[in-house]
Amino acid sequence: MLEFEASNFEELEEEARLKATEISLAIVKAVCDGLDEGADVIALGFLSALDMDISVKRENYYEALTINLHRVEEAEEYELCSRAIKWIEQLQPEQEQE
């Protein structure tokens, strides 16, 4: 689970920019794990200074995977890429129906 040190949203934006690859890897892994387990919501992280949790709902899993896949590829995490692509292919028909 990701823990952010930011004390406001401007700091969070900067922290997210600096940790973009780490965050993308964590998002893709968490979404894939959540899909493997049949979870409807996954917890990604929290901002302790703002007492705020960050989570992703199932209806956003496809978007979370597709947005973050390129950073997983750049990080050369090919096993995780393979898992993500498998789930993207399975979720795509659901997206097309919406």
44-48 contacts: CB < 8 A, separation 24 or more? 44/1, 44/2, 45/1, 45/2, 45/3, 45/4, 46/1, 46/2, 46/3, 46/4, 47/3, 47/4, 47/6, 47/12, 48/3, 48/4
Percentage of the chain modeled with pLDDT above 90: 86
pTM of the predicted structure, to 2 decimals: 0.91
pLDDT tens per residue, range 20-34: 999 999 999 999 999
Q: Which of 27-41, 65-79, 83-97 has the lowest mean pLDDT?
A: 83-97
